[in-house]
Amino acid sequence: MPTLVLSLILMLEPGAAATRRPAPAPPSSPAPTIDWPDFFASVSTQGVVFSERLKALDGRRVRIRGFAVAYPTVPGGLLLSKDPFSDPHAVEETDLPFDAVGILWKPGLRIPAVPARPTVEGVLRLGNRKVGDQIVAIVLDDAAPVYPAHRASGRP
């Protein structure tokens, strides 16, 4: 049956198949957003267990919004935390929250000043990893800040 329909279309519109272009691809959907309640299925003295959702997103581009950690600094990146964080004593050891997320900027990307609570998109990587002098369990590689779209003001 499909062959008959295709044949009829080609007979009624000769050359139509040659001039038709494929429909444009739909715009790529934004990366899924993750948030701290999504991170772990359990947290105990034995360690953490990543949630099924986070494990399913491992290796994919995701977005996260958190608070930029001012200290410690990370060369080529930054750390994000769920709540505002500052290390009051700025000494060698840092009491960074266990669920801090390491952000490693895309190579060659010029980053303007990062707001106090940025949204960042990057490739999710799970597992302990050294970021600067800190070890974190969650990292976004090849990351870039996500800035809100500017609305046209209607002014010249």
Q: What is the pLDDT of residues 1-54, one digit of tens each?
A: 444 433 433 344 444 444 444 444 445 678 999 999 999 999 999 888 999 999
Residue 132: what are its φ and ψ, rounded to 5°? 65, -130
CATH of domain 29-145: 2.40.50.870
Residue 82: what are its φ and ψ, rounded to 5°? -65, -40
Q: How wide is the angle at C-alpha 151 spanned by C-alphas 24 and 116, nearest 5°? A: 105
Residue 47, phi-psi category: left (phi > 0), alpha (psi -120 to 50), beta (remainder): left
pTM as predicted: 0.74
The token pair at 111 is: 């980053």
